[in-house]
Structure 1
Amino acid sequence: MSTVVQGFTKSLAMTVLSEIGDKTFFAAAILAMRHPRRLVLFGCLSALIVMTILSVLVGWAAPNLISRKWTHHITTLLFFGFGLWSLWDGFTEEGEAEELAEVEAKLDADWKADTATAKKSSKDGDDLKKQKRPFLSQFFSPIFLKAFSITFFGEWGDKSQLATIGLAADENPFGVVLGGIIGQALCTTAAVIGGKSLASQISEKFVALSGGVLFIVFGIQSFLSTIES
Structure 2
Amino acid sequence: MSSSIVQGLTKSLAMTVLSEIGDKTFFAAAILAMRHPRKLVFAGCMVALTVMCILSALLGWAAPNLISRKWTHHITTILFLGFGIWSLWDAFNEGESEELAEVEAKLDADFKANTGAKGKNKAVISKKQKRPFLTQLFSPIFLKAFSITFFGEWGDKSQLATIGLAADENPFGVVLGGIIGQALCTTAAVVGGKSLATQISERIVALFGGVLFIVFGIQSFLSTVES
Q: Structure 2 length normalisation: TM-score?
A: 0.90
Structure 2: how far apart are the matches of 1:207 and 1:91? 11
1:15 aligns with 2:16: yes
1:102 aligns with 2:140: no
1:119 match: secondary structure: helix
> Closer, same or farther in 2 for the Cα pair 1:166/1:208, shift >3 Å?
same
1:61 aligns with 2:62: yes
1:93 aligns with 2:115: no
1:45 aligned residue: 46
> Closer, same or farther in 2 for the Cα pair 1:44/1:139, shift >3 Å?
farther
> Closer, same or farther in 2 for the Cα pair 1:175/1:32, shift >3 Å?
same
- Tell me the alpha carbon deviations over residues 51-80 of structure 1, each in whole angstroms, 9 at most, x when there is no partner: 000000000000000000000000000000
User: Do the aligned partners of 1:2 and 1:172 also contact (CA within 8 Å) in 2?
Assistant: no
User: Do the aligned partners of 1:75 and 1:169 also contact (CA within 8 Å) in 2?
Assistant: yes
Structure 1: how far apart are the matches of 2:138 and 2:186? 19
* Structure 1 residue corresponding to 2:153, chosen from 144, 152, 155: 155
User: Do the aligned partners of 1:76 and 1:223 also contact (CA within 8 Å) in 2?
Assistant: yes
Amino acid at match of 1:144: F
2:33 aligned residue: 32
1:133 aligned residue: none
Give how far 1:138 is off: 8.6
Give how far 1:9 is off: 0.3
2:97 match: secondary structure: helix
Give how far 1:195 is off: 3.5
1:143 match: secondary structure: helix
2:198 aligned residue: 200
Structure 2: how far apart are the matches of 1:139 and 1:112? 25
Deviates most, 33-42 or 51-60: 33-42
Give how far 1:2 is off: 6.6
1:18 match: secondary structure: helix
Give how far 1:117 is off: 3.1
2:72 aligned residue: 71
Structure 2: how far apart are the matches of 1:228 and 1:104? 46
Amino acid at match of 1:199: A
User: Do the aligned partners of 1:39 and 1:139 also contact (CA within 8 Å) in 2?
Assistant: no
Structure 1: how far apart are the matches of 2:35 and 2:194? 13
Structure 2: how far apart are the matches of 1:139 and 1:42? 14
Structure 2: how far apart are the matches of 1:138 and 1:76? 46
Gaps of 5+ in 1: 130-136
Gaps of 5+ in 2: 129-134
1:82 aligned residue: 83
1:112 aligns with 2:112: yes
1:224 aligns with 2:222: yes
Structure 1: how far apart are the matches of 2:29 and 2:72? 33
Amino acid at match of 1:97: S
Amino acid at match of 2:106: K
User: Do the aligned partners of 2:34 and 2:194 also contact (CA within 8 Å) in 1?
Assistant: no
Structure 1: how far apart are the matches of 2:99 and 2:202? 12
User: Do the aligned partners of 1:42 and 1:139 also contact (CA within 8 Å) in 2?
Assistant: no
2:141 aligned residue: 143
Structure 1: how far apart are the matches of 2:199 and 2:100? 15
Give how far 1:14 is off: 0.2
Q: Structure 1 length normalisation: TM-score?
A: 0.89
